[in-house]
Amino acid sequence: MSERYFSPDEVEALIPTLTRLVDRLRLAHAEVAKMRRRLQAEQRRLALAGGGVLDQGRWRADKQRMDAGIASARRVAEEMQALGGVPKGIEEGLVDFPHLRDGRVVNLCWKYGETRIRFWHGMDEGYASRKPL
């Protein structure tokens, strides 16, 4: 299977789409985190009380919202991958794209909010090792 390699210009053309996708991913992630906290708080409440009455309707609704958020995040990650990107960090909004540099496969590194592709890093490195193009 041959891998596609991106130029900085090709990734820059994707930035508006990547921005929308990261926005969606962050919203889904925030919803999952919120529902997870609520479910965990309810579990703690019941454990501290030595049992008690569970509001099953609310529990089910919160669990469904969490599951929907997880599914939404997966879909967004799949959309990024379909574009050729590899999501690396939700909080930072990092997406890497394979690139050939001096005959070596590296990652072009895009961070949410950046309007140009200006950095790369090795395949075994991360954001902290970004180097200017």
Cα 50 to Cα 34, 45, 47, 53, 130: the distances in Å are 25, 9, 5, 10, 51
What does each C-alpha distance from 110 to 8, 34, 39, 44, 116 come to in angstroms? 10, 27, 34, 40, 8
Is pLDDT of 2 > 50? no
Instruction: Answer with the residue of higher pLDDT: 51 or 10.
Output: 10
List CB contacts of 111: < 8 A, sequence separation 6 or more.
92, 93, 94, 127
pLDDT tens string 96-130: 999 999 999 999 999 999 999 999 999 999 888 99
pLDDT category of residue 54 using cuts at 50, 70 and 90: confident
What pLDDT score does 76 carry?
95
- Mean pLDDT value of segment 50-66: 85
Amino acid 48: pLDDT: 80
pLDDT beyond 50 at 1: no
The predicted structure's pLDDT at residue 44: 86
Where along the chain do its domains lie?
Answer: 8-132
What is the pTM (predicted TM-score) of this model? 0.86
Q: What is the pLDDT of residues 4-16, one digit of tens each?
A: 899 999 999 999 9
